[in-house]
């Protein structure tokens, strides 16, 4: 699948994480759980649709899945 990548409509993962109020690692877990879709560039870098980030903000879906056995603050129980 091909996408037209303009700098306005796609975000680097660190930028998307900052906008969503997540750590880079939380965003990676959300990507692995398919909460957030990514496009991989030929260089191997990933980009996230700005529209998806805005949708997540609007829907309030900012709590990515946690590892089992982790408390809400991320400390193991």
Q: Write down the pLDDT at residue 71.
A: 47
The average pLDDT across 60-70 equals 55
Q: Is 64 helix (H, G, I), strand (E, B) or coil?
A: coil
Domain interval for residue 53: 10-59
Q: Write down the pLDDT at residue 61.
A: 65
pLDDT over threshold 80, residue 57: yes
The average pLDDT across 21-43 equals 91
Query: Is the pTM of the predicted complex or chain greater than 0.75?
Result: no
Residue 49, phi then psi, degrees to nearest 5 = -65, 130
- Tokens representing 73? 């603050």
Is residue 22 in some structural domain? Answer: yes
pLDDT over threshold 60, residue 58: yes
**How many Cβ atoms sit within 10 Å of the Cβ of residue 22?**
20
Crossing angle between the packed helical segments 24-32 and 13-20, to the nearest 10 degrees: 100
Strand partners, 39: 47
pLDDT over threshold 80, residue 45: yes
Is residue 2 in some structural domain? Answer: no
The number of distinct structural domains making up the chain is 1
């Amino acid at each position: 699948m091909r996408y037209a990548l303009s700098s306005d409509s796609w975000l680097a993962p660190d930028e998307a994480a900052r906008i969503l109020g997540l750590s880079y690692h939380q965003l990676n877990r959300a990507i692995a759980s398919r909460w957030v879709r990514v496009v991989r560039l030929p260089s191997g870098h990933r980009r996230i649709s700005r529209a998806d980030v805005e949708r997540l903000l609007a829907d309030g879906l900012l709590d990515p899945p946690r590892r089992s056995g982790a408390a809400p603050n991320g400390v193991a129980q």
